[in-house]
């Protein structure tokens, strides 16, 4: 994909999505940075006061801030090729506020809903699982999750979560003030023009995964009251693993898509008894229990940072540490374990 093709696809995505150019009445593009700084300065003061720590105001200061810049990752495994938008929030006025709130929320972990941390966590939760008669393995996927989550409702989910967690009232107001300004400053620049995301959570904010998880956890709490909600439902961000009665699959999908007017699920069924999910290949055995293997997309090139690159040693080793950790924590059959082990060793030797 050359620059011209890339730019064409990004502009098409902006035109079709919940984005609009930020400009003056005369049509010239408008830089929102000064307005953003002013809003953040007010929030810094408010939060420092509510938290009873005046040092926070200085801690939240970002020197020489800038507007987020947009870049897109081509989804080459899709046909046609799609674009995944990311607005880099490095050095934006809200960068330190968002990082602070994410850290603060570790005090109040999300305990409701049905999310998993990673594929290893999923495998542990499926220990002892057995398919019932007529059930098939499926994965539900929320189409464009972050841009589909209403900011107002996500903030309501955050407030409810903090109240359930019995956070101090002044802290709740401080947290909500930070979340509000971070989510409202959905500005980005691309090729010299400024744009604003008009709906949903920003794809680049550190807060978006947290708010999306809280929103989806509330969504799941309501959906599981419905008769057709799957008996097993484990979600990683926007991907859901579930067993569903095959004859009720379309009705189940319709039920899920009727729960909220901006949340739309697609579904992928097992093929020949196997279902790729995250980095796993989940396969039903003859006794209807499950076995697990490692899954790589057809577009995978097995290319990693080479040993002769100028990256730090820890960066070069990170991918292989991850693969080794996965190898010894995903329960695989012996021949598949040895095959994956040989592959990792071979890749590490390149």
- pLDDT tens, 189-248? 999 999 999 999 988 899 999 999 999 999 999 999 999 999 999 999 999 999 999 999
pLDDT tier, 112 (very low <50, low <70, confident <90, very high otherwise)? confident
The owner of tokens 């709906």 is: 199
Local structure of 272: helix, strand or coil: coil
Residue 288: CA count within 13 A, CB half-sphere: 9
Give the largest CA-CA distance in the chain: 69
pLDDT of residue 248: 97
Beta-ladder partners of 271: 274
Quote the percentage of the chain above a pLDDT of 70: 99
Q: Give residue 287's pLDDT band: very low, low, confident or very high (50, 70, 90).
A: very high
Q: Which of 134, 133, 126 is nearest to 290 (CA)?
A: 126
- pLDDT 10s digits, 299-345: 888 888 887 888 898 988 898 899 999 999 999 999 999 999 999 99
State the CB neighbour count (10 A cutoff) for residue 81.
12
Exposure string for 45-55, b = 16+ CB within 10 A, e = fewer? ebbbebbeeee
Residues 120, 225 contacting (CB under 8 angstroms): no
User: CA 234 → CA 111, 117, 121, 139, 220, distances in Å?
Assistant: 13, 10, 10, 10, 10
CB 257 within 8 A of CB 265: yes
For the chain, the average pLDDT equals 93
- Mean pLDDT score, 255-261: 96
The encoded tokens of residue 260 equal 């909220």
How confident is the model at residue 271, as a pLDDT? 96
Reported as a single tens digit per residue, the pLDDT across 80-104 is 777 888 898 999 999 999 999 999 9
- What is the pLDDT at residue 350? 64
Helices 208-223, 151-164: crossing angle, 10 deg rounding: 80
SS percent in the chain: helix, strand, coil, step 5? 45, 20, 40
Tell whether the torsion through CA atoms of 23, 28, 30 and 31 is positive or negative: positive
Rounded average pLDDT over 274-289: 96
| Nearest of 247, 203, 232 to residue 88 by alpha carbon | 203
For the CA atoms of 185, 106, 117, 141, the dihedral, rounded to the nearest 10 degrees, stands at: -30
């Amino acid at each position: 994909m050359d620059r011209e093709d890339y730019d064409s696809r990004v502009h098409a995505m902006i035109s079709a999505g919940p984005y609009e150019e930020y400009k003056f009445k005369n049509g010239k593009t408008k830089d929102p940075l000064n307005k953003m700084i002013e809003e953040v300065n007010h929030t810094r003061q408010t939060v420092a006061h509510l938290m009873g720590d005046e040092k926070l105001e200085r801690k939240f200061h970002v020197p020489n801030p800038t507007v987020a810049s947009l870049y897109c990752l081509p989804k080459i495994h899709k046909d046609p090729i799609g674009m995944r938008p990311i607005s880099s929030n490095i050095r934006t006025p809200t960068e330190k506020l968002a990082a602070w709130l994410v850290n603060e929320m570790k005090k109040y972990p999300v305990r409701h809903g049905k999310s998993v941390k990673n594929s290893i966590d999923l495998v542990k939760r499926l220990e002892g699982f057995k398919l019932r008669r007529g059930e098939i393995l499926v994965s539900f996927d929320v189409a464009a999750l972050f841009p589909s989550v209403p900011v107002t409702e996500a903030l309501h989910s955050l407030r409810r979560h903090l109240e359930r967690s019995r956070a101090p009232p002044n802290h709740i107001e401080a947290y909500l003030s930070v979340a509000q300004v971070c989510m409202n400053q959905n500005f980005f620049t691309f090729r010299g023009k400024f744009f604003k995301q008009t709906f949903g959570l920003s794809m680049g904010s550190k807060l978006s995964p947290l708010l999306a998880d809280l929103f989806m956890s509330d969504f799941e709490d309501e959906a599981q009251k419905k008769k057709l909600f799957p008996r097993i439902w484990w979600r990683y961000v926007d991907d859901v693993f579930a067993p569903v009665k095959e004859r009720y699959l379309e009705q189940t999908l319709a039920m899920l898509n009727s729960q909220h007017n901006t949340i739309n699920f697609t579904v992928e069924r097992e093929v020949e008894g196997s279902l790729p999910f995250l980095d796993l290949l989940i396969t039903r055995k003859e006794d209807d229990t499950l076995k697990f293997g490692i899954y790589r997309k057809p577009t995978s090139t097995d290319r990693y940072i080479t040993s002769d690159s100028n990256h730090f040693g820890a960066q070069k080793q990170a991918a292989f540490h991850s693969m080794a950790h996965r190898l010894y924590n995903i329960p695989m059959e012996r021949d598949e374990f040895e095959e994956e082990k040989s592959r990792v060793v071979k890749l590490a030797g390149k």
